[in-house]
Amino acid sequence: MSLDREIKSKLYFIETWGCQMNEEDSEKLSGMLKTQGYTPTENRDEASIVIFNTCCVRENAENKVFGNLGMLKKQKEKNPDLIIALCGCMMQQKGMADEILKRFPYVDIIFGTHNSYKFPEYLHRVQTDGVQIKEIFDKEAEIVEGVPIDRKSSVKAFVTIMYGCNNFCTYCVVPFVRGRERSRKPEDIIKEIKELVAQGYKEVTLLGQNVNSYGKGLEEEISFADLLRRINEIDGLERIRFMTSHPKDLNIEVIHAIRDCDKLCEQIHLPVQSGSDAILKVMNRHYTKEYYLDLAKKIREEIPDVTFTTDIIVGFPGETEEDFLETIDLVKKVQYDSAFTFIYSRRNHTPADRMENQIPDDIKHDRFNRLVEVVNEGIVASNKAAEGKVYEVLVEGTSKNDETKLTGRTRNGKLVNFDGCKEMIGKLVNVKIVEAKSFSLVGEIIK
């Protein structure tokens, strides 16, 4: 084998759809491959291993997987040694793996969310024995520590503190594809963060489907607020963020931890999903609009500089125009700094999929457009209010749109672009905001 061909045979490509937890799973897959001498590539056509890490929360994400698998057929015919692997939440859906193998028989490896740590074993078996592998654990496995991880950033990192969800919102498949809630031991979390700090990382984002449930199932009695205070004591760490918080579970102890701990950032992702009590009840969210607004008010009283981000679904079964207007009213009152807005997408095996009063697509799209307009008005107003103020910014790298500019975020999550030298990456700098744009800020460093 020529050197050029040997190098090409050690290239891998990973495509990731979905949430931050999927992103971290892909970082682990990348880490495992790198320890075996593989190198990542952004050119899928030259890769010898192609991995699709899938999501099933939205139908659109599934359609992208099918489309991309179809395009790989010619690449597989041209290079029979190409290894195609599928993993992630989509694979955990009942019957999905068999459907994929029937439609795309050239897929080599399929595995789920609970056994991704076994990928090197699967890869070895395919390469040495020429077998096709489909292995999906129906039940959540024990948490496996010490899996290699290849971080995308050298400044900030995701750290999963728990897996799974017990809430069973009627639109959501997460409890079925990610399993029930399991918490990592606090000593393992703190060890990982200390190692990150030793490598030069300045910020961590703690991940979980519902971080406020942290501690369940552990022998040691520890709450999420307790964990936050412990992590805040780690020397060298500059910033702590977390997501996601279920509104029904974000208690006063967590609010006080954010208020009291100097490293905890004043930004909270608080998914509301709807502003209508009727829809929230059918969604099985266990709170009301009034409760949510009172919670946001209480948080602002304790943490004046806090910003909120959220998730909102429009067009949920049975949603009337009045229900939708309740959501619009809530958005105006909270004034989010960012919102992930979604058109309701039917998901198999969820109660919402079986509801008879599905909303027509044209109405869903109309409401979605109206919602986005109101959300964006709030973001623009919030950014405008930042003009003339000075913020501490963690420099994360160069701007995606202009590599001559540096980019970073304030403690409360606002994206700022400014002039500076690359030596500043990874440092905290004070930046004065000179111009507010629609979804970012322009600043200048204060020396």
CB 242 within 8 A of CB 203: no
CB 196 within 8 A of CB 204: yes
Query: How distant, in Å, are the alpha carbons of 210, 224, 227, 265, 300 from that of 257?
Result: 17, 9, 10, 11, 14
Q: Is residue 87 part of an annotated ligand binding site?
A: no
Q: Is residue 89 part of an annotated ligand binding site?
A: yes
CB 289 within 8 A of CB 275: yes
Query: How distant, in Å, are the alpha carbons of 75, 90, 92, 271, 433 from that of 50?
Result: 11, 17, 19, 33, 43
CB 436 within 8 A of CB 393: no
Query: How distant, in Å, are the alpha carbons of 16, 134, 175, 378 from that of 111?
Result: 15, 6, 17, 42
Q: Any residues with CB less than 8 A from the CB of 375 and at least 6 apart, and which?
A: 312, 331, 336, 339, 341
CB 138 within 8 A of CB 178: no
Residue 445, beta-bridge partner list: 431
Integer Cα distance of 89 and 25 in angstroms: 11
Both tokens of residue 34?
A: 């790198």
3-state secondary structure of 299: helix
Q: Is residue 55 part of an annotated ligand binding site?
A: yes
Reported for 285-291, long-range contacts at CB under 8 A and 24+ positions apart, including other chains, are 285/169, 285/247, 285/248, 286/167, 286/248, 287/247, 287/248, 289/326, 289/330, 291/247, 291/248
Integer Cα distance of 326 and 36 in angstroms: 54
Question: Which residue from 271, 198, 206 is spatially nearest to 232, judged by alpha carbons?
Answer: 206
Q: How many helices (H) and strands (E) does the chain have?
A: 13, 19
Q: Binding site for [4Fe-4S] cluster: what residues are annotated?
A: 19, 55, 89, 165, 169, 172
Q: Binding site: what residues are annotated?
A: 19, 55, 89, 165, 169, 172
